[in-house]
Amino acid sequence: MNDITSGTVLLTGPTGGLGKAAMLAIAHRPPSERPDLLLVGRPGRALTEVADEARSAGATVQEIACDLARLSDVRSAGQMAKDLLVSGAVRPLRGLVANAGLSVADTHNASADGYELTFAVNYLAHAQLIGDLLGSFSVPARVVLVGSNTYHQNVFRRWLHVPPARWRDPLELARPTPADTPSTFEQCGIAYSNSKLALLYYGHELQRRAPAGVNVTVFEPGFMPGTGLSRAHGPAMQRVGRVIERIPGVSSPDRSGPALASIVLDGRWAHLRDGAFVVKTREQQVKSFAQDRQREARLWEATTELLDGAPPA
């Protein structure tokens, strides 16, 4: 048992895909290597069932129903997590995995707080939750943000028509596409890539502001076609994804989930901090533009403004 496995790990998006695979990898560890789990997910049967599945493996689990597209829900989830920690229902908080994410088919869509839905769920909700819980960690602790290499372009992503990020001021990124402007497939891809570049910038700035002993990492699970991320684009896109998933070297939740569990739990990754970027099982340098102190400071400032502007719980 190490310091992390002797505590509790909170994970968002545990009901499917990468999150479920990582959660089950944690739940099926031997008791001496298994932390307690706080599962933050959309309310409903899927959350109850996945929590029960983890309990049947022997894990201590508390589920927290939360719609990440509603910041009042996120604040309530943070408070519920604090209450469970204080009451002793779970062991001290040692890890947080910001896994939940989506890719939209229409950037006109807004969250309950009026923000572009991709940016709201993938980035803002996690910034709110982490900010609310930052003082509740017992150190050493780890925060793992699930990122994506889509923030930059390469030959493979160009072939698949996956656009890279096109960074703008965060207040602009938070605005849905105006009603009189069409939403294109490319715009949806850019919104996703921008949200993942935001997580890289946030990870670097968070490390500067986090308490000593709370280490921040960004994990890229690899290209995972056919997962829930593509559900907004219809069943045809998901069927294509499941075919691509069979190609050697292409990732899947079953392959990447245990790797994510390892990043948050295992001693071999204890050195990671400063928003270190890990692709599957290998630490990599990000592109030079993905480390920008001016952008990172501005994102932190704008995030505070956006979260303060959302209605309170």
41-81, pLDDT tens digit by residue? 999 999 999 999 999 999 999 999 999 999 999 999 999 99
The C-alpha atoms of residue 151 and residue 42 are separated, in whole angstroms, by 27
Q: Which two tokens stand for residue 37?
A: 């789990």
The C-alpha atoms of residue 61 and residue 27 are separated, in whole angstroms, by 9
The C-alpha atoms of residue 29 and residue 58 are separated, in whole angstroms, by 9
Please state the CATH superfamily assignment of the domain spanning residues 8-309 in this structure. Answer: NAD(P)-binding Rossmann-like Domain (3.40.50.720)
Contact 174, 198 (CB under 8 A): no
Q: Which pLDDT belongs to residue 236?
A: 47
Element containing residue 238 per DSSP (H, E): helix 235-244
The predicted model gives 283-297 an average pLDDT of 97
Q: Which pLDDT belongs to residue 234?
A: 47
Q: Which pLDDT belongs to residue 248?
A: 58
Q: Which pLDDT belongs to residue 233?
A: 41
Poorest-confidence range of 31-45, 56-70, 82-96, 153-167? 153-167
Task: Give the chain's mean pLDDT.
Answer: 92
Burial of 192 by CB count in 10 Å (0-12 exposed, 13-18 middle, 19+ buried)?
buried
